[in-house]
Amino acid sequence: MFTTSKKQRPLTDQDRLWSLTIDRRSAEPHASGRAIRMNSTYLELVDGIYANRGMMSAVGIFSIGMISYAVVGILYMVIFHNYLNPDWDRQDQTEMLLSVGFVIAVSFLFIVGLVAFNRTIGEWFRYMHYPMRFNRRNRMVYVFRGDDTVLEAPWDDVYFTLRVNSQAFGVRTLGICGLVLKDPKTVKEMFVFGYASSSRDYCLRHWEYIRRYMEEGPQAVIDAPGFRYCLPIADKRETLYQGWIALSSRDAWNPALKWLMLTFHVLFFIGRLVCRVTSKVPLWPADVEAACRIAPDDPYVRDSSTNPVGYR
């Protein structure tokens, strides 16, 4: 669930078939609500899991709650139905204590496993989000990895292509990825953009937003649809309001779906609160910040400070 993957693999026929070129327009640009900030030096975007962060946490919290409830119930029965029962003859005490100890040990391992799983997928004890920067001054791409390091790749050397992010119940979700090649036939590392859709055209519009920024400058995308607001998470923890908006905005277009999903959104929001408490704010290393220095008089600076009041 991180933005990058270091698993080496061959470059596939599908990679070649769906490849994206940086020197040719492919659609009309659309920011898709993924921009954190933009200026004449760089464009910063959020990762694809950001909007759904909290879902797996909710599952983890529910599972840990159920396990804890069962353990507390067992201990209650042992204490109040046995040790505090004057009629108990203690004949089965050893077997009972061994059974209770086994259940507690297994439950503890399950809880540790759930915590480790949520940490592994980036929900707990990691970062609030995993941003990527596209620097048009030095033509570099910077991707915040999940292991506290940053992938740095030249824009002109990255092999960009569409990919199948997921497929379920006959619905295929496409995404955009950048492949860092070890050689012309081998992928050394892959990073995935923060936008996915079942529509190829929508993916191409988001790709065009990034491509046009890098090749033509911020003036070419300053008025692009989906860039009315910047996500207010640059160098700071998201507000509770922003966390709720991130979870629920995808269903806001349909009133019936909005109310149908309300219960799930509340549960996911509780999970997101755990992410918020346990995770750190991603901060770029000093060398990346130095390479991304913004001119004081840059007329194209856009971030959450330029958002309407109430969404900063």
DSSP secondary structure code for residue 125 in this structure: S
Q: What is the pTM of this model?
A: 0.90
Question: Is residue 155 located within the same domain as residue 229?
Answer: yes
Least confident stretch, 3-7, 17-21, 167-171 = 167-171
| Domain's final residue, options 120, 145, 165 | 120
Which tokens belong to 189? 């590392």
Confidence tier at 227 by pLDDT (50, 70, 90): very high
Residue 101, domain extent: 57-120
Question: Is residue 1 pLDDT above 60, yes or no?
Answer: no
| Domain's final residue, options 120, 137, 160 | 120
Q: What is the pLDDT of residue 42?
A: 98
In-domain check, residue 306: no
* Per-residue pLDDT tens over the stretch 52-74: 899 999 999 999 999 999 999 99
Confidence tier at 146 by pLDDT (50, 70, 90): confident
Question: Is residue 81 located within the same domain as residue 50?
Answer: no
Question: Is residue 150 pLDDT above 80, yes or no?
Answer: yes
In-domain check, residue 304: no
Question: Is residue 109 located within the same domain as residue 251?
Answer: no
Q: What is the mean pLDDT of the chain?
A: 93
In-domain check, residue 145: yes
Q: What is the pLDDT of residue 161?
A: 98
In-domain check, residue 25: yes
- Please provide residue 275's backbone torsions phi and psi, each rounded to the nearest 5 degrees: -55, -45
Which tokens belong to 64? 């840990």
* Per-residue pLDDT tens over the stretch 194-217: 999 999 999 999 999 999 999 999
In-domain check, residue 309: no
Question: Is residue 147 located within the same domain as residue 257?
Answer: yes
Question: Is residue 218 located within the same domain as residue 110?
Answer: no
How many domains are contained in the chain?
A: 2
Question: Is residue 174 pLDDT above 60, yes or no?
Answer: yes
Query: In the predicted model, what is the mean pLDDT of residues 156-170?
Result: 92
Question: Is residue 159 located within the same domain as residue 282?
Answer: yes
Find the helix packing angle between 93-120 and 55-78, rounded to 10°.
Answer: 170
Helix, strand, coil % in the chain, rounded to nearest 5 = 40, 20, 35
Question: Is residue 21 pLDDT above 80, yes or no?
Answer: yes
